[in-house]
Amino acid sequence: MSTDDSARRVAIIGGGPAGLYAATLLKRLAPTRDITLWERDPPQETFGFGVVLSDETLGGVEHADPAVHAALREHYVRWDDIHLTHRHTRQTAGGHRFAALGRRRLLEILHARCHALGVDLRSRTEAPPADRLARTHDLVIAADGVHSTTRETYADAFRPHLTTHRCRYLWLAVDFPFDAFRFEIAETEHGVLQLHGYPYAPDASTVIVEMREEVWRAAGFDTLGVPEAVDRCARIFADALRGRPLRTATRTPAWSAFRTVVNEHWSYGNVVLIGDAAHTAHFSIGSGTKLAVEDAVALAASIAEHPDVPGALAAYEAERRPVVASTQRAARASMEWFEELRRHLDQPPRQFAFNLLTRSRRVTHDNLRLRDARFTEAVEREFGCPPGTPPMFTPFRLRGLTLRNRVVVSPTALYSAVDGVPGDLHFVHLGARALGGAGLVMTEMVCVSPEGRITPGCAGLYTAGQAAAWRRITEFAHARAPGTAIGVQLGHSGRKGSTRRMWEGMDEPLPDGNWPLVAASALPYQEHGQVPRALCRARLTDLREEFAAAARRAARAGFDLLELHCAHGYLLSGFLSPLTNHRTDAYGGSLEKRLRFPLEVFDAVRGEWPEERPMTVRISATDWAEGGTSAKEAVEIARAFAAHGADAIDVSTGQVVTDERPEFGRSYQTPYADRIRHEARVPVIAVGAISSWDDVNSLILAGRADLCALARPHLYDPHWTLHAAAEQGYEGPGAVWPAPYRAGSRPPRTGRTDGPRPRLTPEG
């Protein structure tokens, strides 16, 4: 690693962990470097008490600066357990390996290290403006926190996005050490409060009290001064606090609402953001100091590894941005779980605890089982898992259909039909997935008319010949993969029709051979796309009959389940979203009116579909666009379909308008399924970047979903479900290998790579 770089003169704004540790590392790597750090507050003055550091972060600290690591090791406290107390019942899960120390102690260690290395620390001194420092220094590091003045000065360059969230919290301490990380839930006449607590010294613990804004106001906290509010919190959580008083830090503000900071860019010229100035992540996953320290390590390394500052800053951001984005997604999931805590309060005690522990999706069923097998097995027993049965292999009943496991092969568009007739590719594709062990295999969206196709290659159910071709597939699945159900998804393309196949240009209009489009309103999907005709009342009646006729053919074709496609901007989805339904008649306006035609179609289909066979509905629970379907409306949509007889809601999102801004990430759509399941009280199918059997087990056991639908994993591996069983050592009725395949139920042997173990060592 080269230390002869261009950052010879460095200015650092902010004396928190990010700024101090960056100064330490940069000075250690190049002792002749001129580093000045400004902090407007007195040394060691801080707003909080303890900080939590992971083993991964501590390992990075040890490698980057053993002296700092050695000093930290003398002062941090360790513990393994998490205690959750709810409704006078405590659940404990162990094996988590936490380390924490006082924030003031951390600052003292970093100050001492900076002084020893020769960093110029200027406490109680306001930093000169960043633009002035940028002219006189090679590098300016803005570590000036969540309220960063530097970020605001260069807002046009950094393009910050700040989101204020729905809970109020106080950062406090109590003068004794908790014996674990503590979550305490208090249900009051005004609403739910939660306490997050952990030890940070042999005689002290951090305590954070948090509640929804409306609870905060209803309880009168908005009218109390901080001392009175602190006393009241101590009384509410007296049992957890052993009757001890709570105390505040010197800089503890009044009640705060957490703000998530995201910047489109982290550097501008020779000015760079680190720590909370660049990004924040909710305290419920203990990530703020961790991210700050890791930022400092990455920035110092990048400066040392690159000969010029612009290249170093680009490398720093490229390295850190994916890590931070992942952490922010996890933190947001955790924060939103606590914002919606009341939704989960009635879960069985152990499931509630498991749900809390896995809320960020970073702790999963599998690694929680490794940490504390006894706790995880207790959750599984309470859930109803037979001994040795992972949650994903428990059966689930929908009307007269019992699925042998919780895995669904999500609809995968093949665009390979000829005149709507499914061919050999459909037979092989669906047959292979049926043999692969999933509880339910879904077709692609099957269109109810020629004009309802998305592309010329879309399959249909508008002729007897198409129904006969589908029956060939269902008969194979039932004969060769007994126990696997096969479902059909019925839909109409609406304004998204008459386009090329996906691999020829997704959503692009056909160059020729177009057919006319219809939709709720005369709005094209693409600006350059075909303008659909707004449906008149007579045509609505015709369409309803087309859906009903397709359902009759689907029943005769032998499908076990029927799903009505009301998502992704297709015809029925176009009625539901206010962004695509601009009608002024009885089918537009309020949500009740926007629901009217999709419910009429549902009723018509349900009337033709055999009573004992289940029906599901796929919806887009958000349009990911301003003014679109809200999460609250999605609950009402689900509730309406359930009232009309839907047996489950398949909860997807988006693809309704082209200017959507999805928040992609692992299992990113599952919070919508979770909300619908708990508020609409209807079974749900979760979809969206669920990629591992561990994800499926976690979602099912936590009660966030009843079934999990996966598409890409089943394209990668048609036998994904059977392989998931083999990898978990499960052999049972939830995953039955077809007789001709049983020899492949264990991984094939490979060449040995292990050498002889060392057996003898010399004396001395």
Distance CA 90, CA 342 (A): 18
Neighbours of 544 (CB within 10 A): 18
Neighbours of 166 (CB within 10 A): 15
456 touches 502 (CB < 8 A)? no
Q: Which residues contact 764 (CB under 8 A, 6 or more apart)?
A: none
Distance CA 156, CA 142 (A): 16
Distance CA 496, CA 454 (A): 6
Distance CA 554, CA 467 (A): 7
Distance CA 260, CA 491 (A): 39
> What 3-state DSSP class applies to 457?
coil
Distance CA 143, CA 35 (A): 14
Which residues are bridge partners to 574 per DSSP? none
Distance CA 599, CA 636 (A): 13
669 touches 653 (CB < 8 A)? yes
Report the first-to-last Cα separation within the chain, whole angstroms: 36
Q: Let me know if 317 is exposed, middle or buried by CB neighbors in 10 A (0-12, 13-18, 19+).
A: buried
213 touches 114 (CB < 8 A)? no
The candidate with the shortest Cα–Cα distance to 26, out of 291, 281, 320, 316, is 316
Residue 144 region by backbone torsions, left for phi larger than 0, else alpha for psi between -120 and 50, else beta: alpha
Strand order in 139-142's β-sheet?
Answer: 120-123, 34-39, 9-13, 139-142, 271-273, 267-268
Neighbours of 162 (CB within 10 A): 13
Give the max Cα distance, the chain. 96
Distance CA 271, CA 660 (A): 32
The angle, 0 to 180 degrees and rounded to 10, between the axes of the packed helices 693-702 and 720-727 is 80
Distance CA 426, CA 472 (A): 10
| Tokens matching residue 150 | 């530097």
Distance CA 450, CA 463 (A): 10
151 touches 273 (CB < 8 A)? yes
Strands (E) in 529-585, as ranges, are 533-534, 561-566
Stretch (H or E) spanning 494: none
| Paired sense of beta strands 561-566 and 485-491, if any | parallel
How many separate helices (H) and strands (E) can be counted in the chain?
26, 29
Tell me which residues are annotated as active site: 570
Distance CA 445, CA 517 (A): 17
Q: Let me know if 106 is exposed, middle or buried by CB neighbors in 10 A (0-12, 13-18, 19+).
A: buried
